[in-house]
Amino acid sequence: MNKTAVVILAAGEGTRMKSSLPKVLHNVCGRPMIGWVIESIMALRPYGTYIVVGHQADLVKEKSARKEIVFVEQKKQLGSGHALMQAEQKLKHFHGSILVLCADTPLIRTETLSVLLNFHSREKNAATVLSVINDNPFGYGRIIRSPSGQVEKIVEEKDASREIKKIKEINSGIYCFESPLVWDALKNIKAENAKKEYYLTDAVDILNRQGNKVGGCTICGANEVMGVNSRVELASAEKAKRFEILEKLMISGVTIIDPSNTYISADAAIGGDTVILPGTTIEGKTVIGSNCRIGPFAFVSDAKIGNFVQVRSSYIYDSEIGNESQIGPFSHIRPGTIIKTGVKVGNFSEIKKSTLEDGSKVNHLTYIGDATVGKKVNIGAGTITCNYDGVKKHKTIIGDRSFIGSNVNFVAPVEIGSDAVIGAGSTITDDVPSKALAIARARQVNKIRK
Ligand code: UD1
Ligand code: CA
């Protein structure tokens, strides 16, 4: 294979997205589109990677910065051909192939790019276009082949006659060009078309007319080179990417009951024999062990979950859940929480920035915030930590094996020893020593009715 440099075109505004965010920064399965494209080329270990930025350049740079990447600026967005021209200064002395991609094709795979590069060098082409047969070619540039099968030119939808619009072979927007040959061809592009833009696709016609060989490398599967121009296409790309992620997990031994109703980030890791039930979203760098049951309707974000854990209809953010623990239904585990082994957090219980040691139970209608709860503690229904005095947060500490009756208020800061018992309905404002029984409520009076 020839020596390869990569240029990613990402300067366009993406007007059809109707967004204040540049198109290439819209997320597909939790990652900006451009991030997926960058990832697809990294395994090729290119000689150099250049990204052409323009519209909101600083933001695009910030979100796609990596040490391997050099940015070049396209001050005015005059078209994809003009965009590639901006890389000339960096690459005019480069002898080899230039792989050009658009940042709006987030489904492209490294394997396909390798196929294109191999085809290009095997055929000794001056340029090779990656094409696909698409039953719904609307919006894409159409490939015009010569009788011998070479690619003669590419005609954009807006410039196409009725006959040309019937052609189903489309331009993926991914190409291989020989450098330095391409730089000269680009100089001949004219903005004489419906959009008054310098089309990169015109380089094909120009190279042909200069007597060079231009080929088309056709792949199966139109999905992979789907260009995202609108939010409708964004949703299609999201769906396709989502299935790809879920398929990998299923192949690795995770059961996903209803893939059309399950949302898992590409950065999540899930162990074997774990079952993901419908309506579940798993975000960020969540790690889930084996033999868990997650869902239905669980939302888990950047959490670390052990083995044999159950999470039903609950929210978990930035927290750790130990082996054999059970969360939900309807629990809210907020950031900074560490739940150890065999813990139960049940209905309408909220835990924030707290540690629950092995075997403790917080089963019903409870708020535990900024607390440390020892082992085998039972927290009765309706108990809350009053952790906030309006200005500062304070800690509640509860020792091992203590039994907290229902509807207790812990006015923090407060510390309960181990093996203590707190009477139901108590408002605890003072520390309770180990093995003590604390009751802090008014005694009941029964009076004769008049
Ligand atoms: C382009 C191709 C079309 C192909 C399709 C595949 C051209 C003229 N047409 O059309 O044949 O079928 O992709 O998805 O290239 N860009 C810049 N600077 C600009 C203009 C565009 O960097 O001045 C970048 C965009 O950010 C984008 C890429 O070039 O990543 C393609 O531009 P876009 O407007 O999406 O082209 P399409 O109309 O989709
Ligand atoms: Ca596009």
Q: Where are the beta strands (DSSP E) in 324-400?
A: 326-327, 332-333, 338-339, 344-345, 350-352, 355-356, 361-362, 367-369, 371-373, 378-379, 384-386, 396-398
Reply yes or no on whether the pLDDT at 247 is more than 90. Answer: yes
- Per-residue pLDDT averaged across 73-83, rounded? 97
* CA nearest ligand 1 atom 28, residue: 102
Ligand 1 pocket member 227 (CB < 6 A): yes
Ligand 1 pocket member 201 (CB < 6 A): yes
Give the C-alpha separation, 256 to 249, whole Å: 8
pLDDT score of 222: 87
Is residue 364 flagged as an active site residue? yes
Ligand 1 pocket member 156 (CB < 6 A): yes
- Per-residue pLDDT averaged across 206-226, rounded? 95
pLDDT score of 359: 98
H or E element in which residue 294 lies = strand 293-294
pLDDT tens, residue by residue, 280-338: 999 999 999 999 999 999 999 999 999 999 999 999 999 999 999 999 999 999 999 99
* CA nearest ligand 1 atom 8, residue: 199
Ligand 1 pocket member 275 (CB < 6 A): no
Give the C-alpha separation, 438 to 302, whole Å: 39
- Per-residue pLDDT averaged across 67-85, rounded? 97
- Considering the chain, what percentage of its residues have pLDDT values greater than 70? 100
DSSP per-residue letters across 51-98: EEE-TTHHHHHHHH--TTEEEEE-SS---HHHHHHTTHHHHTT--EEE
Residues in the chain: 450
Reply yes or no on whether the pLDDT at 427 is more than 70. Answer: yes
Strand partners, 97: 4, 178
- Per-residue pLDDT averaged across 235-250, rounded? 97
User: In the structure encoding, which two tokens stand for residue 189, read together?
Assistant: 């592009």
Write the DSSP symbol of residue 143. E
Phi and psi at 340, nearest 5°, equal -85, -150
Q: Which residues surround ligand 2, an ion (CB under 5 A)?
A: 104, 227, 229
Best CA proximity match to 396, nearest among 365, 432, 425: 432
Sheet holding 320-321, edge to edge: 269-270, 287-288, 304-305, 320-321, 338-339, 355-356, 371-373, 396-398, 414-416
pLDDT tens, residue by residue, 158-173: 999 999 999 999 999 9
- Tell me, what amino acid is at 436? A
- Per-residue pLDDT averaged across 145-169, rounded? 96
Average pLDDT over all residues of the chain: 97
pLDDT tens, residue by residue, 172-193: 999 999 999 999 999 999 999 9
Active-site residue identified among 93, 95, 120, 364:
364
Give the C-alpha separation, 376 to 401, whole Å: 5
* CA nearest ligand 1 atom 5, residue: 173
In the structure, what pLDDT confidence band is assigned to residue 2 with cuts at 50, 70 and 90? Answer: confident
Ligand 1 pocket member 10 (CB < 6 A): yes
DSSP per-residue letters across 373-389: E-TT-EE-TT-EEE-B-
User: In the structure encoding, which two tokens stand for residue 111, read together?
Assistant: 């394997």
Phi and psi at 411, nearest 5°, equal -85, 105
Reply yes or no on whether the pLDDT at 414 is more than 70. Answer: yes
Ligand 1 pocket member 230 (CB < 6 A): no
Q: Mention every residue, 6+ apart, whose C-beta is less than 8 A from residue 232.
A: none
Query: For a pocket test of ligand 1, which of 7, 19, 77, 102 has the largest count of ligand atoms closer than 8 A to its C-beta?
Result: 102
- Tell me, what amino acid is at 209? R
Q: What is the model's pTM?
A: 0.91
Which bound ligand lies closest to the C-alpha atom of 85?
Answer: 1
Centre a 10 Å sphere on the Cβ of residue 68 and count the other Cβ atoms it contains.
Answer: 12
- Per-residue pLDDT averaged across 423-433, rounded? 98
Report the atom number in ligand 1 closest to the C-alpha of 198.
8
Reply yes or no on whether the pLDDT at 390 is more than 90. Answer: yes
Reply yes or no on whether the pLDDT at 1 is more than 80. Answer: no
